[in-house]
Structure 1
Amino acid sequence: MRRAIAALFALLLAPLAARAQAPTVIVVNFGPGAANDIAARLVAQEFQAEFGSPFVVKNTAGAAGTLGAQEVVRARPDGLTLLLSPIGPIAVQPSYMRNAGYRTSDLAPVCMLTDAALVIQTPKTSGLRTIDDLIARAKSQGGNMPYGSSGPGTITHLAMVAWTRAAGVPMTHVPFRGPSEVILAFQQGTLAVLADQPAMVRAHDLQVLAAFSPERLPEFPDVPTLGETGHDLAFSIWQGLFAPAATPEPILARYEAACARAARSEALRQGLERIQVPLVHRGRADFAAIVVRDAERMRTMIEEGGLRAAE
């Protein structure tokens, strides 16, 4: 019996030993410079030191993050392909899209790494300084004022849908494929507002108008919450590590332990701090519960609000 158990564990852990021959791929489902791309590169450095073998980051962007998620769902569950994703492709798109190509349950949560409230941000050249400024300008443009997002059905999209409806201010949704496109649109003056986590604020000297959070954010103490402006809305973007659902338990446990050690790394904390995204670590059980909770919340919001994509 002992020999049989040892043989089984050797078989399950063989992919981990195989890293000496093949790098582990961390798929990022948004473009270079996105918050999960930066987080993945920081985690890859930690894991590379932990396992003593190469970890590479692969950007598979498109379709609001679902292309990268599909890639990992279809990958062999051998521990050599992981996904670092924000909430949208995991908890939103399977309900928002009529055929996302996978379900939330097709991915196994390994650990949560960050959680950041969305903030409504704008270039300082836009002239917008408060939510009242934004409301006035949007009303003056009769629904034609655009707001950006990281894709249809993402949290950055749904949060603005919720706010524009609550404030009674129609605006026009314009999706972008990544941060570089958003910044270019800001610079060209074709876009003035985006609700997203604050990863770009410091790097591009943006103005923050309000936060989708229950309380004021420590990094923006002078910025009001939307509740303070009369619209009690809270949305945040967590990021976490996932594996294909059929990945064996010993492999998931090994990665969960590696996540916990990485979360204690000063390099990871400082790297995330530079993009104003707080390190918030949760293990597998807690993270899985959060994923289930948020998937149900988003499904209810989408169905009750008639927000499902028309495809």
Structure 2
Amino acid sequence: MPYRNTLRRAFLAAAVATMATATCAHAADSFPTQRITMIVPFPAGGGSDGVARYLSEPMAKILGQPVVIENLGGNAGAVGAAKVLREKADGYTIMLGSVNETVLLPIVNSAVPYKYSDFTAVGKVGSTPFMVIGRKDLAAKSFDDLIALARKQPGKLSFGSTGVGSYQQIVMEQIMKLAGVSMLHVPYRGAAPLMTDLLGGQIDLGVALPSVVLPQARQGAIKAFGVTGQARDPSAPEVPAISESQSIKNLDFSFWFGVFAPKNMPEDRRAKLAAALEQVLQDPKVKQQLETAGLTVAQPAEQKDFAGFMKQEDQKLRAIASGIKLD
């Protein structure tokens, strides 16, 4: 009899364990079972918001649940990003974010309460280089002309950025370092006032995304001196890469977007979200929308080590920021 009781207890324990395993597997396989919130850490109507809206509906169709966008701006994206990290790491709260709020802000602003590694990197969406632009009557026709002019007038030429510690400032600080020139930094609170002053001749240069400034450049209202990626931007093939110049080689700065979640999200859920994102990015309609917005859509190979790519970006930007005075 004791033997039978022992056997019965062992059988019941095994049955319970099997049921628990099956239940967990079913929970993983059935994800998601409710709506997913995609936080955009900037107000509606901006570039990040537009990218999120191109992705949300097709992702919802693939996942079988609504993907609802929540805009939460503030502190250059840090408010929305911090909110994501306070949510459960269950896959039901994700973020359409960029290099700005995930990698750069924690480096240049000590008040930001997180670091890039606090996020689960779901997948890369796409990227775009910056474009160095100038007022239309600036006495330079090419990037090499621009650097020559800066060398003749050290500290005299002015460049605008979207704020102290912005990616645009980081880019220009690195350009000045590599070219051995100095310019005056003029920070603005956004791209719109920067462009107003550049068009009005109040500043000499600016750094902006091609999608923002190409219409003015093609109309001759401003000059486009070069893009900061390794190669020419497909949306502006007429503008050379700065690395084509004699002044600077191997310059590579791109503004990229990705999908993120809180740290320690279960791998099976991360993989499911990543697979949905990758499928969406291969959709011809979505790809066209993103390309029209100025993005080069991420390839499947870029998705495999997005976390590793973020680490490299952190190391690069941290090294640059440590060597400059951010003011």
Unaligned 5+ segments in structure 2 are: 1-16
What does residue range 138-217 of structure 1 map to in structure 2 within 5 Å? 143=155, 145-205=157-217, 207-217=223-233
Higher relative contact order (CA 8 A, sep 6+): 1
- Superimposed CA distance per residue, residues 227-279 of structure 1 (whole angstroms, 9 cap, x where no aligned partner): 31412222112211100113222321211011111011112111122122211
Is contact 1:121-1:194 (8 Å) kept? yes
Distance 1:151 1:59 in 2: 21
Shift of 1:193: 3.0
Q: For residues 296 and 272 of structure 1, do their structure 2 counterparts lie closer, same or farther at Cα, with a shift above 3 Å needed?
A: same
Cα distance in 2 between the residues matched to 1:143 and 1:88 = 27
User: Once the 2 structures are TM-superposed, how far is the Cα of residue 11 of structure 1 from its aligned partner?
Assistant: 4.9
1:81/1:128 Cα in 2 relative to 1: closer, same or farther (>3 Å)? farther
The whole-number CA distance in structure 2 between the counterparts of 1:181 and 1:248 is 43
Larger radius of gyration: 2
Query: For residues 115-148 of structure 1, what are the alpha-carbon distances to aligned partners after superposition, in whole Å with 9 as ceiling and x for unaligned?
Result: 2222213465878643356457767886365433
Query: Cα RMSD over matched residues?
Result: 3.1
Task: Indicate the larger mover: 64-73 or 218-227.
Answer: 218-227
Matched with 1:288 is: 307
**1:57-136 correspondence runs (5 A):** 57-122=69-134, 129-131=141-143, 134-135=146-147
Aligned to 2:319: 300
The residue matched to 1:41 in structure 2 has which SS?
A: helix
Tell me the residue number matched to 2:247.
Answer: 230
SS at match of 2:305: helix
2:42 is equivalent to residue 38 of structure 1:
no
Matches of 1:88 and 1:230 in 2, distance apart? Answer: 27
Who is 2:3 aligned against? none
Classify 1:188/1:2 alpha carbon distance in 2 versus 1 (closer, same or farther; 3 Å): farther
Q: Secondary structure at the match of 1:79?
A: coil
Match 1:247 to one of 262, 265, 288? 265
Deviations 1:155-176 (A, max 9, x none): 2221111112333443333444
Say yes or no: does 1:261 pair with 2:279: yes
Q: CA deviation at 1:290?
A: 0.6
Structure 1 residues 122 and 61, CA gap change in structure 2 (3 angstroms): farther
SS of 2:286's equivalent?
A: helix
Q: C-alpha distance in 1, partners of 2:78/2:269?
A: 24
Taking structure 1 as reference, are residues 147 and 209 closer, same or farther at Cα in structure 2, changes over 3 Å only? same
Q: 1:138 to 1:74 in 2, by over 3 A?
A: farther
Taking the aligned partners of 2:248 and 2:45, their CA distance within structure 1 comes to 31
C-alpha distance in 1 between matches for 2:68 and 2:210: 25
Question: Structure 2 counterpart of 1:112, which letter?
Answer: K
Rounded Cα–Cα distance in structure 2 between residues aligned with 1:191 and 1:68 = 32
Partners of 2:144 and 2:247 within 8 A in 1: no
Gaps of 5+ in 1: none
CA drift of 1:215 comes to 3.2
Cα 1:127–1:241 shift into 2, 3 Å: farther
- The letter of the residue matching 1:293 is Q
Residues 273/98 of structure 1: CA separation in 2 closer, same or farther (3 Å cut)? same
Preserved CA contact (<8 Å) 1:15 1:80: no
Task: Decide whether the 8 Å contact of 1:64 with 1:153 is kept in 2.
Answer: no
User: Secondary structure of the equivalent of 2:241?
Assistant: coil
Contact 1:109 1:288 (C-alpha < 8 Å) held by counterparts: yes
Tell me the distance in 1 between the aligned counterparts of 2:107 and 2:26. 39
Q: Which residue identity does 2:105 align to in structure 1?
A: Q
